[in-house]
Amino acid sequence: MTTILAVETATDACSVALARDEVLEERHRVAPRQHSQLLFSLLDELLPPGRGAAQALDAVAYGSGPGSFTGLRIAASAAQGIAYARAIPAVAVPTLAVLAQTALAEGMTRPEDMLLCTLDARDGEVYAAVYRYRGGLAERVEGPVACAPEALRCGGNDALVAVGSGCRYADRFHETLRERLSRRHEAALPRARDMLPLARVMLEEGDTLPPAQVLPVYVRDEISWKKLAEQGKRN
């Protein structure tokens, strides 16, 4: 029996989930700027003290970004602490992939759709990546990028379903991209429960991290993603 804990705090949603094979528990709250106060109380609800062997975990998964700087640090710190304390591996799952899974789970998209996953990056920019589904799992096709909405480009000519908070800038997308958008779902937020199918596959394939390597990932320009340790000193 494989047990995975998932933590996603990269957006306005503070979300945790626990899966023991087919048994799933989730705590999900939309609470902007309250994640540091909420997260550990939600974790205590899923893993209350005194459950003994029932608390055994095989891995802890976390949303690795892009997203809110503070939110990413909260998720990574929690995952790292849990991984160290329990001597288990961590699984870093891209937040935009989790968003794609949530869109499918909530009926916003269909398995045959191509998906433009977006997040409001603040400062007039968006995070974006294109996904499709293979066997019901999100598979990245293009991206991720961070750029001004006007600068966002996506290869190909297929229709796209746009999801996520970056859709609020859709009217500023280039005309050729706007014409490809068949539907928009701005309110979509990634949920920890939808991280679990991706995390399970990554765990099975050995795509994991030791606790010391648990880091958030940030988009620093249009094409370059850098781990925190690679960025140098921040002001």
pLDDT at residue 219, rounded to an integer: 60
**Phi then psi for 169, rounded to 5 degrees?**
-100, 10
Average pLDDT, the chain: 89
Instruction: Report how far apart, in Å, the C-alpha atoms of 227 and of each of 6, 7, 66, 72, 148 are.
Output: 20, 19, 11, 12, 22
pLDDT at residue 216, rounded to an integer: 80
For residue 181, give the 3-state DSSP assignment: strand
pTM: 0.90
pLDDT at residue 91, rounded to an integer: 98
| Distance, CA of 27 to CA of 51 (rounded, Å) | 18
Domains of the chain, earliest start first: 3-94+190-230 (3.30.420.40), 96-185 (3.30.420.40)
| Distance, CA of 215 to CA of 112 (rounded, Å) | 33
| Distance, CA of 51 to CA of 54 (rounded, Å) | 5
For 136-179, write each residue's pLDDT tens digit: 999 999 999 999 999 999 999 999 999 999 999 999 999 999 99
Q: Could you list the mean pLDDT of each consecutive 10-residue stretch along the chain, which spans 235 residues?
A: 93 95 89 92 85 74 93 95 95 97 97 98 93 97 94 95 98 97 97 97 97 79 37 33
